Chains A and B, each alone.
Chain A
Amino acid sequence: MEARTTLLANAPALEERAWRIRRNALRMGQVQGQGYIAQALGVADVLAVSYFHALSYRPEEPDWEGRDRFLLSIGHYAIALYAALIEAGIIPPDELESYGTDDSRLPMSGMASYTPGMEISGGSLGIGLGIAVGIGLGLKRKSSDRFVYNLMSDGELDEGPTWEAAMSAGHWRLDNLICIVDVNRMQADGVSTGVLNFEPLPAKWEAFGWHVQRVDGNDMGALVQAFDTARALTEPKPRVIICDTRMAKGVPFLEAREKSHFLRVEPHEWDLAIEALDAGRGA
């Protein structure tokens, strides 16, 4: 039986899932005293819709053949995916405390060799989409009707292999491939479009043969609709959902802080951040 939890009548709402993902991420950041927390808070809604609306998987059997594949190309977003995998029941909640510590299954950068539910070793940015192309081809060889999702960042749009993969997916008409681009407009050296301008983004993907949607990545309703559209589409094309997200979303004082790729959070601020998140719960 598929663990598409939204099918369950008493399943928590997606907003509640997103809140728990954010809270898990903040707790991990607190344990480490650091982490890519702004990215995690920003992408939490995308992960909530992915894991609690769109994906099929079995929490007790992460390698189940019938699962949808979800690739985390952006290894440094691992804190966000762990938060989601804990909420999904794939990683036990008490492992959260081990994040980024020696001998943990939850290293700072996501690796398939460490963590159940982590499909690939990302981190060398720009490799996820190409692997997704191969998985898409492989699923078709097996006549599987599963999807492969690739979550990437706008910074990865700078990488040449992203566009090799985009062209390849278009060429092979990979209608089982859904790429999610988290556009939070911030990369290591500053504002993404200032580092290397990737706009006009939808036109680029369209030119490579993709079905394109661009949504507010922190609007749950819009995300659900975009994922549903991407999955239901009958056009033989790969699909991309460009998600404009706000870094540190859900913790107003961090959202307001001057943005940087690696958001500094002072030791006393973690509790304040969790309080602020809790205050916004259900709001």
Chain B
Amino acid sequence: MSRVRRGPWAAGMAGTPAAAMSDPSKPRLTTSAMIASLVSEGQRSSTAPFGHALVEAARNRPDIVGMTADLGKYTDLHIFGAEYPDRYYQMGMAEQNMMLAAAGMAHEGFVPFVTTYAVFASRRTYDFISQGIVEEGLNVKICCALPGLTTGYGPSHQATEDIAIFRGMPDLTIVDPCDALDIGQATHAIAAHQGPVYMRLLRGKVPLVLDEYDYRFELGRASLLRDGADVLVISSGLMTMRALEAAKLLETDRVSVAVLHSPTIKPLDEATIVREAGRGGRAVVVAENHSVIGGLGEAVAGALLRNGVAPPLFRQVALPDVFLDAGALPTLHDRYGISAEAMARSIKGWL
């Protein structure tokens, strides 16, 4: 019988204990709880930005309801549930039925915010979202925790290809906000928007970064957070935080990095992206918490090619096209090149 082996077995050391693979001089990190906070030491943060923003957005909007598939506490929707218990629908661990029920609710004029993990929405319920909700243009907001590599649990919970899956669906708006501020503002924006939306969420204690920049979330708009002469990073989601950190690290190497945050993946703000990428002959690096296949990177590449923009260098900081390892998030982020340090190293190496 042939079977794929991962972890220490992958190196051809079948049967070898994992300890034999590690450097004994270093303490080995452990896989944390399902949802590890991404807040680093000393970083400012805000708790449950999605839940609190939705409570505010729903204050004068009795049409907004919340639905979850046994993951209210793990998507911060429980905050909404505590504030509006009669508008909170626990649908059980039945994601397909939840998407259909949300379609039915939207039929009746309500605006359901449905939550689960990104893997389940994308892989498990795709047809139900497509044919139940989006084909009819129903006003359902699908808000999902654990996007990309934000858990060490392994491929069962790592939504490394959710954007690739959803980008193929006509009429679905896709949003990948960066931090607590972005998530809060995006929640208000998608509540005001008419039409189906898929939004990636960080939950729990979420880093707060963008309040230090002249930034406001606008649906469908990319924003230049900092300018730079050598490299233009185009990024979404948590990789925008990493890009801003990497840009600071690279300052010491006299590499000047611009960061263009593009939280709306679809429809993509092609005008801004093409304009920035065509300016100043800078290297273009697209950074995303997602597979190299089918995400922001390929969306940007397509836009640049179609518009005749050829930067001197084009690279992706993204997850490799493999089923990722299980392990501690800091270990995995380093291993797959999406930590700020790894990103800075990659960019330096490419120049």
Interface residues of A (CB under 8 A from B): 69, 111-113, 119-121, 123-124, 127, 129-139, 141-142, 148, 160-161, 164-165, 167-168, 171
Contacts and interface: CB of A to CB of B under 8 A. Distances in A.
Contacts of A138: 104-105, 107-110
Contacts of B132: 120, 127, 130-131
Nearest to A148: B104
Interface of B: 65, 89, 91-92, 94, 96-97, 99-110, 112, 127-128, 130-132, 135-137
B127 to A, nearest CB: 6
A134 B136 contact: no
A131 to B, nearest CB: 4
B65 A134 contact: no
Contacts of B92: 164, 167-168, 171
Contacts of A168: 91-92, 94, 97, 101
Contact of B101 (A120, A123, A133, A141): A133
B91 A131 contact: no
Contacts of B100: 127, 129-131, 133-134, 161, 165
A112 B134 CA distance: 12
Contact of B136 (A113, A160, A165): A113
8 contacts: A119-B107, A123-B131, A130-B103, A133-B97, A135-B105, A135-B108, A137-B101, A165-B101
B136 A120 contact: yes
Overall SS of chain A's interface: helix
B94 A121 contact: no
Nearest to B127: A124
A112 to B, nearest CB: 5
Contacts of A133: 97, 100-101, 104
Contacts of B136: 112-113, 120-121
A160 to B, nearest CB: 7
Nearest to B95: A164
A252 B65 CA distance: 52
Contacts, number: 98
Contacts of A132: 104
B108 A131 contact: no
Nearest to A144: B108
A127 B101 CA distance: 10
Nearest to A126: B96
Residue of B94, B100, B127 with highest tally of chain A CB at under 10 A: B100
A131 B94 contact: no
Which 3 pairs between the two chains have the least Cβ-Cβ distance? Answer: A134-B104, A130-B100, A138-B108
A27 B91 CA distance: 44
B96 A161 contact: yes
A113 B135 contact: yes
A136 B104 CA distance: 8
B126 to A, nearest CB: 11
Contacts of B102: 134
Contact of B103 (A111, A131, A136, A171): A131
Nearest to A113: B136
A168 B92 CA distance: 8
B104 A142 contact: no
Given A123-B131, A136-B104, 7 more contacts: A113-B137, A127-B132, A130-B132, A134-B106, A137-B101, A138-B105, A161-B128
A148 B100 CA distance: 14
A161 B97 contact: yes
Given A121-B131, A127-B131, A130-B132, A137 B96 contact: no
Contacts of A134: 100-108, 112
Contacts of B65: 141
A203 B127 CA distance: 29
Contacts of A131: 100-101, 103-104, 107, 132
A15 B101 CA distance: 35
Contacts of A164: 92, 94, 96-97
Residue of A124, A141, A148 with highest tally of chain B CB at under 10 A: A141
Contacts of A111: 135
B70 to A, nearest CB: 12
Contact of B97 (A120, A121, A148, A165): A165
A165 B98 CA distance: 9
